[in-house]
Amino acid sequence: MEFFLFALLAVFSSVHISSAVELTFELPDNEKQCFYEDIKAGEKTSVEFQVVTGGNYDVDCQIKGPDDRILYNKVKEQYGDHSFTTEKAGTYSVCFSNEFSTFSHKIIYLDWQTGEEKPLPGLEEHHQALTQMETSAQAVHENLNAVDDYQTHYKLRETQGRKRAEELGERVLYWSVGETIAILLVTIGQVFVLRNFFAEKKPSEMGYRQLH
């Protein structure tokens, strides 16, 4: 029975989390995209972003409050995170700009979390000392959150590394094709030069050159 309750708490720990928006989106060149969230006053908020693919892996990021006050502003950043506590209730915005790029679009990962993490079921108003099982369930809950975070970041790194490897492979391919074409052109040119150098002169041409 205790094992069943422990497993049940572990399952709930993976679904009872704070309000969050986690997504990956495409940002075309010369464009700007914003996300909005209505947040109460006094809420803890954290924003984390990372450019996964595209161009030089950089983007402009700006966070604004309901009064249009700039809370965070970074230019041409590959990765960034910002945590703050809201002072006013209202609509907060996170904007990403790729307007400085004229031909490369970007793939961006965004993790926007708001509010405190919800406690495990049965521990909302726990005034007594936690039992060993409850302590273990809380530890599993925290470890699962850490594992989920690590998996997300490792997946982003894997995607970024794979994209860079593909781009490097394309560059090597183009360079190899260019070298092959250059070698062929040089070879053909050398063949024509050698043929012209060793070609036999006609008697009429030789007599004409001797007279002149």
Q: Provide the 10 A C-beta neighbour count for residue 108.
A: 21
Which residues partner with 33 through β-bridges?
Answer: 96
pTM of the predicted structure, to 2 decimals: 0.63
- Identify the pLDDT of residue 90: 93
- Write the pLDDT tens digit of every residue in 54-80: 888 899 999 999 988 999 999 999 889
User: Domain 18-116's class?
Assistant: mainly beta
Residues 98 and 192: their CA atoms lie apart, in Å, by: 52
Residues 57 and 160: their CA atoms lie apart, in Å, by: 9
Domain ranges of the chain: 18-116
DSSP 38: E
Phi, psi of 111 (to 5 degrees): -130, 110
- Write the pLDDT tens digit of every residue in 21-56: 888 899 998 999 999 999 999 999 999 999 988 888
Task: Please report which confidence band the pLDDT of residue 7 belongs to, taking 50, 70 and 90 as the band edges.
Answer: very low
Residues 61 and 43: their CA atoms lie apart, in Å, by: 21
Most confident of 59-63, 105-109, 113-117, 161-165: 59-63
